[in-house]
Chain A
Amino acid sequence: MRAKSSLKVDPIACDGHGICAELFPERISLDPWGFPLVEDPVIPPALERAARRAVAECPTCALKLVRAR
């Protein structure tokens, strides 16, 4: 079985552009100040494509997809 991926936000790098929530609303919403709230960081294979796109488009490279433990 393939290892699942996990979404991680680097809170220092994040500037709250909000692009991730736009591209990946299935898992990411924004708090009242525009910073991402990750609902469930573990990403199933079916959602991985969308997650990767959000990661790639983050202007400050604050969003990362890492191998889940």
Chain B
Amino acid sequence: MTATLARGHLLRGVGRAPTLEEHVRVFGQAARLDVADVERAGLRGRGGAAFPTAAKLAVVAATSQPVVVANGAEGEPLSKKDRSLLRVAPHLVLDGALLAADVVGAVEVVIAVARPAPELEAAIGERTLRRTTVRVARVPDRFVAGEETALLRALGGGPAKPTTKPPYPFERGLSGRPTLVQNVETLAHLALVARGAFGSTALVTLSGAVARPGVHEIPLGITLADAVGELTADPAGYLVGGYFGRFVAPQEARTLQLTPDVLGAGAIAVLPASTCPVAEVARVVTYLAGESAGQCGPCTHGLPALAGALDPSRRGDHRGEARTFAALVAGRGACRHPDGAARFAESALDVFADDFARHAKHRGCGRRDEGVLP
């Protein structure tokens, strides 16, 4: 994994987790940070929602006795960037979490991970913390566990399932206290902003028909084609933003600029023309249906119905049905899980329109499911 990490801004001087001394040598000491600095940097969240970080900091700073939760749960199967970052730059994430705690007036930081994070634990052990406590907490390794209210519920000892908003985490979060939830990459960028840099890069996880799979740091605003680099096969389409993202047609790759809202959680997969996109898409929607928390009716019933309408083994034309179900589930859950699945399916129906038409007519396309999307 670390071998594939490009040398960029966040990942400067990496190769393995640096000691605190090495970290300071490479990045320098973290200066103080205020909300205005973050606003000037234009930093947006890197967990998927691309929410302006400064606005979130300002809201939590106005509350009393807040908590900071660093979200490193990364339930997205196509993404590895957060766990890679925690492995190779844990001190940068820690700097960011402590700076954020300072900005909002918190003395408690919880870093949530879904897998063991020994490098992070070691990095915390190297720190001398006077006022603030930092601890690592494990949450279930499930898709929906990274959703902020599900994460907070899991950290509080409950099931990793979303809750109805309001109340929002900044109102009532961990242990009922106002909570700042930030993705770990966002916090690492905060650490750079505090050193005078701007949040102008992003971590992406490349997979599928790419010559350089794995985690890379890219400058924001470059095109999709430039971000993925050399391909190993003819592309049928690009999935940008993971399973909550959307498919992009190959002819769009040269013009689509990667901004935080397009990137989502930063996972990009290139589907080669050799695999059956209908089967790949149906399999992922079936997975997403299974990952529903099962709390909201439209998601619990609608996602299996959507998966059924996309099922390539079914006779007949179910494209209209799929579009109807996708439109029906969007916006009707407590969280954005159904919206993400709907966007994924709808964009697949657009980009792979010819393939879906062939399946509707001939019940197949002669290609097999290569399992490019895990």
Given contacts A31-B328, A35-B332, contact A12 B296 (CB under 8 A): yes
Interface size class of A (residues with CB under 8 A): 10 to 19
Q: Is the CB–CB distance between A33 and B296 below 8 Å?
A: no
B298–A13 contact, CB under 8 A?
no
Our pick among B301, B305, B328, B334 for the contact of A12 (Cβ within 8 Å) is B334
Residues of B within 8 A of A33 (CB): 297-298, 301-302, 305
B163 on the interface (CB 8 Å rule)? yes
Which of B297, B305, B333, B334 counts the most chain A CB atoms within 10 A?
Answer: B297
How does the 8 Å CB contact mask read for B155-166 relative to A, with 1 for contact and 0 for none? 000000011100
User: Do A12 and B332 touch across chains, with their CB atoms under 8 A apart?
Assistant: no
A11 touching B164, Cβ below 8 Å: yes
> Taking A11-B333, A11-B334, A12-B334 as contacts, is the C-beta distance between A35 and B298 under 8 angstroms?
yes
Beta-carbon nearest neighbor of A9 in chain B: B332
Q: CB within 8 Å of A: which of B162-214? A: 162-164
CB distance from A8 to the nearest CB of B (A): 10
Evaluate whether A11 and B163 lie within 8 angstroms (CB atoms) in the complex, with A33-B298, A34-B297, A35-B298 already known: no
Q: Is the CB of B297 within 8 A of A32?
A: no
| Chain B residues whose CB sits within 8 angstroms of the CB of A10 once the complex forms | 164, 334
Cβ of B295 within 8 Å of any chain A Cβ, yes or no, is yes
**Chain B, residue nearest A13 (CB):** B164
Task: State the CA gap A34–B162 with chains docked (Å).
Answer: 22
Point out the residues of chain A lying under 8 angstroms from B302, CB to CB: 31, 33
A11-B305 CB under 8 A given contacts A31-B328, A35-B332: no
Question: Once bound together, how far apart are the Cα atoms of A16 and B298, in whole Å?
Answer: 10
Nearest residue, chain A, Cβ from B298: A35
Which chain A residues lie closer than 8 Å to B333 at the CB level? 11
The docked-state distance in angstroms from the alpha carbon of A31 to that of B298 is 8
Pairwise interchain contact B298-A12, C-beta atoms closer than 8 A = no
User: A35 to chain B: which residues have CB within 8 Å?
Assistant: 297-298, 301, 332
> Which residues from B are CB-within-8-Å of A15?
297
Q: Is A14 an interface residue (CB 8 A)?
A: yes
Write the nearest CB–CB distance from A21 to chain B, whole angstroms. Answer: 13
For residue A37, which residues in chain B have a CB less than 8 angstroms away from its CB?
328
Can you give 22 A-B contacts (C-beta < 8 A)?
A: A10-B164, A11-B296, A11-B297, A11-B298, A11-B299, A11-B332, A11-B333, A11-B334, A12-B164, A12-B295, A14-B296, A31-B298, A32-B301, A32-B305, A33-B297, A33-B298, A33-B301, A33-B302, A33-B305, A35-B298, A35-B301, A37-B328
How far is B328's CA from A52's CA once the two chains are assembled, in angstroms?
A: 25
Query: Contacts of A12 on B, CB cut-off 8 Å?
Result: 162-164, 295-296, 334
- Residue of A11, A31, A32 near B295 (CB, 8 A) is A11
Tell me how far the C-beta of B321 lies from the nearest C-beta in chain A, rounded to whole angstroms: 10
A35–B332 CA distance with the chains assembled, in angstroms: 10
- CB neighbours of A16 from chain B (8 A): 297
What is the distance, in angstroms, from A28's C-beta to the closest C-beta of chain B?
Answer: 13
Residue of B nearest to A15 (CB): B297
CB distance from B147 to the nearest CB of A (A): 13
Q: How far is the CA of A34 from the CA of B305 in the complex (A)?
A: 14
* Least distance between B320 CB and chain A CB atoms (Å): 14
B:314-333 near A, CB below 8 Å: 328, 332-333
List CB contacts (< 8 Å) of A1-30 with chain B.
10-16
Q: Interface readout for A34-66 with B: 1 if CB under 8 Å, 0 if not?
A: 110100000000000000000000000000000
